[in-house]
Amino acid sequence: MEYLFPSFIDNYINELAAKGRKDSTIKRYIYDLNDFSYWLHKARSTTEEINWKSITKEELELFFQDLIEVRKYNVRTIRRIHSVLRQVHQYRKSLGQSELSPMAEIEPPELSSGPLIESDWLQQKEQAQFLTSLSSTNGLSDQQLEVFHFYKERNEFIVRLFLNYGLTLHEVQQLSMRDIKFERNELHIQEDNRVIVMNEDHKQLAYTYFKSIPEPVRPRFYSDDPLIVSFDFKRKTFHWSYDDDQPKRMSMIAIQKMVRMEVKRAQLRKGISAQTLRNTFILSTLLNGKTPKELVQWIGYTTPLSMNRYLNTLQSITKEQKHRLLAGAV
C-alpha cells in the first residue's frame, strides 16, 4: 500500500530534477521516501496523512533498527537511506521548517562495526533492579495504580522475551495466539520457523497476563489475534479493533515507549531499549558457553558472521565487565 507524501516532498523532488540529478537517482529517492512513509504509517497504525514535523527520534531509531534487525539490509544500503532522510531534513531546515529534525541527532551505522560498549548491555544488578521494579508499584500515578493489575504481567513478559530469549522488537510485536503453545511452553517465530522453549515461570507469566485480559476483548486461542495487546488507559481496559474484529496489536513504538517508561520507573540510566536487552541476552549466552553456531540458530541470524560484533566485544572487555554482566544472572 502506498501513502501520499506531504506536499513538500514533491517540491523537493522537483528541485533534485532541476539540479540535474539522474532519473535513476530520483527514482531511488522516491522509493526510499515511500518506503519510510509506509513504515511510519504501519508503525503508527494509521492510514491518515502524517505531519512529518511530529516524527520523533525514537520513531526514526526504530525505523533504522527495523532495517538492521528485520530486513537485514547491508550497512551501505542503510547509510544511503539515512542520507536521503537527512537531506530532506536539511532541505526543510533551509526553508525554516522542522520536518525530520531528529535526523540531525542520528548517526549512520559505521561501515565496519566496532565492539559494543558497556552502556549497550545491562549489568546483572541493573537486570535485577529492572525486573524487581516491573512487578512493584513504585512510581505509579493513582490512575496507573487503578489498572496496573491488567498490564503488569504483560510488561514483564515483553521484557523477558527480550532479556531471556533474545527476540527482536519486531518478533515480539508480531506474535499471535497461534504462535504460543501453553501446553508445551513453546513460542513459534513464524518469520523463520524457529521454536523458542520458555521456562515454566515465564510460561505462567504469559498465561497470567492472558487471563488478565477481560474475556470480551481477550485474544482467542490458536488464532491470528495478537498475543501482545494494546491497553487503553482512558477506557481502563484492553483495546479492541473493530476494523480487524480482534484485540488491537500493540505497536512497536508503543512497546519501545513502554520499555523506556519502565526503565525510568526503575531509576535506571537513559538509553536502555529493547536492543539493549537483546544485546544482554546474546553476550551472556555466549559467556555461558553456547557456541556462535548454536546461538545463530536460536536467535534467527542468517549467518555466523552476524555474531562477529558480539564475539569482538567479548574479546575486548575486561574480566570485571564480564563478571558484572553474569554474576548471579537473573
Per-residue CA distances from 142 to 137, 138, 139, 146, 230 (Å): 10, 11, 10, 6, 20
**Phi, psi dihedral angles at 251 (to 5 degrees):** -75, 160
pLDDT of residue 48: 85
pLDDT at 195 over 50: yes
Q: What is the pLDDT of residues 304-329, one digit of tens each?
A: 667 888 999 999 999 999 999 987 55
| Structure confidence at residue 308 (pLDDT) | 85
The domain 119-326 is placed in CATH, from the list 2.40.160.20, 1.10.443.10, 3.30.1370.10, 1.20.1200.10, at 1.10.443.10
> 105-109, 155-159, 202-206, 283-287: which range is least confident on average?
105-109
In the chain, domain spans: 7-105, 119-326
Q: In angstroms, rounded to a whole number, what is the distance separating the alpha carbons of residues 323 and 328?
A: 9
Residue 160 Ramachandran class (φ > 0 left, ψ -120 to 50 alpha, else beta): alpha
Higher pLDDT, 44 or 248: 248
Confidence (pLDDT) at 282 = 95
Nearest one of 249, 250, 276 to 122, comparing CA atoms: 276
Q: What confidence score (pLDDT) does residue 1 get?
A: 44
Average pLDDT over residues 243-256: 93
Mean of the per-residue pLDDT values of the chain:
91
Per-residue pLDDT reduced to its tens digit, 20-56: 999 999 999 999 999 999 999 988 888 888 999 999 9
Instruction: Pull the grid cell for residue 58.
Output: 525514537
- What is the mean pLDDT of the segment spanning 152-169? 97
The model carries a pTM of 0.83
Cα dihedral angle (63, 194, 174, 33), rounded to 10 degrees? 30
Mean pLDDT of 221-239: 95
Query: For 68-120, how does the pLDDT look when each residue is reduced to its tens digit (9 = 90+)?
Result: 878 878 888 999 999 999 999 999 999 999 999 999 999 887 766 678 999 99
Looking at residue 309, its pLDDT comes to 86
> 314 or 65: which carries more pLDDT confidence?
314
